[in-house]
Structure 1
Amino acid sequence: MKSTLLIATYNWPAALELVLQSAKNQTQLPNEILIADDGSTQETKALIDLYAKTFTIPVKHIWQEDKGFRKSQILNKAIAQASGEYIIQVDGDCIMHRNFVKDHMAFANANQYLFGSRVNIQQPYLEVLFQKKQTNFGPFSKGIKKRTRAIHSKFLSGFYKEQDFFSKKFRGCNTSYFKSDFIAVNGYNEDITGWGREDSELMLRMHNKGVKARRLRYRGIVFHIWHKEKSKDRVEANNTIELKTISNKIDWATNGLDKYLNNA
């Protein structure tokens, strides 16, 4: 089964470099990497062009003009172009454990999406992180908190089973799903702009469609680089959309993916 690693980014090339390096270090490479760029400057493009030459797999940069936070739109545009049957999704500030892709592929099952753990790299450690360009972390590494999330254990991960409800522990920066399930709900809802609810609303529609969830605890780990919080001025409006999805059991985004599929 072909896989696509999808990385969402915006104007932080120093962080993206570490994420791309962690992609190179994977014990199992994806079949392709797509970088969904919500309007970064030329510096990010130059970095991606440089790294693309060092990979043995295709690396594709999908860019749109910076008109504010439009993550739902750029992710739809990128996934429309994905050749992989299975999408593994991270953010451009999340360094991947070296077994990240392997873990997601090992647990990929029909009619199910996965969500993994996020370990936070703390603000005081950022100077060291970027100076060393560190991509290797474990439960005893400096600069992290909630260390148990960094434990990688095949045995312990087996205690987490499939569930038919949405978990509050879900994070869109560490998830995977079949492209066919994404298409079936028409992808991200582009009425959701600004920070917040775009990922959870997508998965709630998948649940309404009958797709189940499985948590990848102790497997599929990412290390999230600290950054200032983004503006939350759209959270209330986005939350209203999500609540409507829940109450009306909506499973299709009217303003979604389909507009890009014919052009892919």
Structure 2
Amino acid sequence: MNAALIVTTYRRPEALKLVLRSALQQHRVPEEILVADDGSGEETARCIETLAGKSPIPIRHIRQEDLGFRAAMIRNRAAAASTADYLIFIDGDMLLHPDFISDHLRFAQKGFFLQGGRVLLDPSATRNALKEGRLKFSFSSPGLGNRLNTWRFPALCRLFARPNRSMRGIRTCNFSLYRSDFFSVNGFDNRFVGWGREDSELAVRLYNNGMKRKNLKFCAVAYHLYHKESDRGPLPENDRRLLQSVENKTIRCEEGVEAYLHSKEVQR
């Protein structure tokens, strides 16, 4: 099975460099990496170009103009540009355990999406990681929150990976599913602008289409570099869109990934 890693980023090249390094040091590397860039500048482009030139697998830069927080749209653009059977979504500030990709593929199943967790790094641990180029952490590392999420036990993970339809903790910073399942609901809703709820709304439509969820507890370990919270101003409108999809039992969004299947994306 071919896998694509889709990495969402915005104007944080120093973090993106570490994330891509952690992706290239996987025990099971993806077939392709697509950097879903929501309007970053030349420094990000140079970072991607440099790593792509040394990478044994394709790294593609999918970029859109900076017109505000449009994570849903840029993830769709990247997914449309992918050729893989399986899509793994992360954010551009998530450092991956060497077995991150293999864990997602181990539990992949059609009709299911996988929701992983994260270990939170505080500001001091984040500064040190960026300064030192650090990729590896452990339960005892200083400056970590959610320390239990550092533990990786695949056998124990199977006990937690039971099918469910919970809406708790839906985050596409550590999320995967088959390309065909993603396209069956037309991907993310491009109308979500500003922080929040585009991932929960996608989950609602996946559930409405008969899908279920598996939690990757004690697997797919990833470390989240600290950043300040995004502006929550657009949240009421995004909440309204989410509630609308719940009440209407929506399966396919009107403006989604299919809009980009035949378009020429800005790539570097």
TM bin (shorter chain): over 0.9
The Cα of 1:169 is off from its aligned counterpart by 2.0
Task: Give the match for residue 190 of structure 1.
Answer: 190
* 1:6 has 2:6 as partner: yes
* 1:166 has 2:172 as partner: no
- Correspondences of 1:1-264 after superposition (within 5 Å): 1-263=1-263
For the residues of structure 2 that align with 1:256 and 1:93, how far apart are their CA atoms?
A: 25
For the residues of structure 1 that align with 2:259 and 2:172, how far apart are their CA atoms?
A: 23
Task: Tell me how large the CA RMSD over aligned residues is.
Answer: 1.1
The Cα of 1:221 is off from its aligned counterpart by 1.3
The Cα of 1:172 is off from its aligned counterpart by 1.1
The TM-score with structure 1 as length reference comes to 0.97
Aligned-pair identity (%): 36
The Cα of 1:158 is off from its aligned counterpart by 1.6
Structure 2: 5+ residue runs without aligned partners? none
Question: Does the CA-based 8 Å contact 2:116-2:216 persist in structure 1?
Answer: yes
Report Cα offsets for 1:123-165 as digits up to 9, x if no partner.
1222211111111112122221121111011221121133241
The TM-score with structure 2 as length reference comes to 0.96
Structure 1: 5+ residue runs without aligned partners? none
The Cα of 1:65 is off from its aligned counterpart by 0.8
For residue 30 of structure 2, give the secondary structure of its aligned residue in structure 1. Answer: coil
Matching residue's letter, 2:20 = L
For the residues of structure 1 that align with 2:27 and 2:141, how far apart are their CA atoms?
A: 20
Report Cα offsets for 1:154-187 as digits up to 9, x if no partner.
2211211332413312221000001111111011
For the residues of structure 2 that align with 1:133 and 1:157, how far apart are their CA atoms?
A: 29
For the residues of structure 1 that align with 2:55 and 2:96, how far apart are their CA atoms?
A: 16
For the residues of structure 1 that align with 2:184 and 2:126, how far apart are their CA atoms?
A: 40
Question: Does the CA-based 8 Å contact 1:166-1:204 persist in structure 2?
Answer: no
For residue 16 of structure 1, give the secondary structure of its aligned residue in structure 2. Answer: helix
Report Cα offsets for 1:74-111 as digits up to 9, x if no partner.
11111001110100110001111110000000110111
For the residues of structure 2 that align with 1:161 and 1:167, how far apart are their CA atoms?
A: 15
Matching residue's letter, 2:241 = I
Matching residue's letter, 1:141 = S
Question: Does the CA-based 8 Å contact 1:166-1:207 persist in structure 2?
Answer: no
Count residues in correspondence: 264
The Cα of 1:258 is off from its aligned counterpart by 1.6
Report Cα offsets for 1:175-216 as digits up to 9, x if no partner.
000111111101110111000001111111001001110000
The Cα of 1:31 is off from its aligned counterpart by 0.4
The Cα of 1:261 is off from its aligned counterpart by 1.4
Question: Does the CA-based 8 Å contact 1:164-1:211 persist in structure 2?
Answer: no
For the residues of structure 2 that align with 1:146 and 1:30, how far apart are their CA atoms?
A: 27
The Cα of 1:26 is off from its aligned counterpart by 0.5
For residue 68 of structure 2, give the secondary structure of its aligned residue in structure 1. Answer: coil
For the residues of structure 2 that align with 1:122 and 1:238, how far apart are their CA atoms?
A: 28
For the residues of structure 2 that align with 1:165 and 1:191, how far apart are their CA atoms?
A: 24
